[in-house]
Amino acid sequence: MTQTIALIGHPVAHSLSPAFQQAALDALGVDARYEAWDLLPEELPMAAERLRSAALLGANVTVPHKEAMLRFIDRPDALVERVGALNTIVHREGQLHATNTDVSGVLRALEAAGASPRGMRVVLLGAGGAARAVVVAMRVAEAASVVVANRTRGRAEDLVELGGEAMPVTTCGLEEDDAELEAAMARADLVVNSTTLGMTHGPDEHATPVPARMFRGGQVAFDLVYVPERTPFLEAAEAAGARPVGGLAMLVHQGAESFRLWTGYEPPVDVMFEAARAALAARAR
């Protein structure tokens, strides 16, 4: 019986996940298809029931449903509880288990670039759903501290408790003339962009949340945006001598961890990267 893995979100037509997940399934001869389910909020209960079918291995969940799908989960793990959102559902004997592989995706992307966050002072730009996973990832990796910079200070404050006792999380504004931001950027070892600025077809695809003058040589600049692969944020960082790390690595590594959970197989990461880049190139033509 051909089994199914779903991608649940709205919209989902832009996602690269179907391309690289199906390539991985095919490469290992797994009899399964990866489908994109573009669902409105009112359709989520029906989707959850469908996921309990023996024909479903599980699902990825993307925006805007990462929090809403929690209502239908039988067994969320500790990462889901900590982040407050899921991105992977695994069907096991009629029950829906959930985790958040965004956390491991962040860490594996940085480790692959030779930039382990342990002991690093981190500036995190933006305070949305992706930012929560980044803070938790930094806590897991034993980063020294995190400063969350966001235009709405109150939203950044919501992430402070995620650091726990061992990793202090503080906040500042996200404006070019913000003295606290300037100071935090000057001290930072790692700067992470979790905003959508610079994203193709996003609110401002030519923008970067911080200019080149705020970076310094020796820093690591990690952009969660993966379309385009080389974003204005990464260009600004590189111009100042910082080391750029693109978001495609996070996307593929979080997907690889999901693949491992659904299938029990070691994911063919090289195949996944190749398929993701081919899909990106096809869209650029």
CA 174 – CA 149 distance, rounded (Å): 5
Angle (deg, nearest 10), helices 102-112 and 129-140: 60
- The pLDDT > 70 percentage for the chain reads 100
Residues 187-238 have pLDDT tens digits of 999 999 999 998 887 778 889 999 999 999 999 999 999 988 899 999 999 9
Give the Cα separation of 282 and 285 in Å (integer): 5
| Tens-digit pLDDT profile for residues 228-250 | 889 999 999 999 999 999 999 99
What is the CB neighbour count within 10 angstroms for residue 63?
15
Give the Cα separation of 268 and 284 in Å (integer). Answer: 25
Q: For this structure, is 137 an active site residue?
A: no
Q: State the pLDDT confidence band at 177, using cuts at 50, 70 and 90.
A: confident
Strand segments (E) across the chain: 3-9, 32-38, 56-61, 75-76, 88-92, 95-99, 121-125, 145-149, 169-172, 190-193, 220-223, 243-245
Catalytic residue among 23, 44, 66, 272: 66
**122 vs 164 pLDDT, higher one:** 122
All structural domains of the chain, each given as residue ranges with its CATH number in brackets, are 3-100+249-284 (3.40.50.10860), 104-246 (3.40.50.720)
Calculate the average pLDDT of the chain: 95
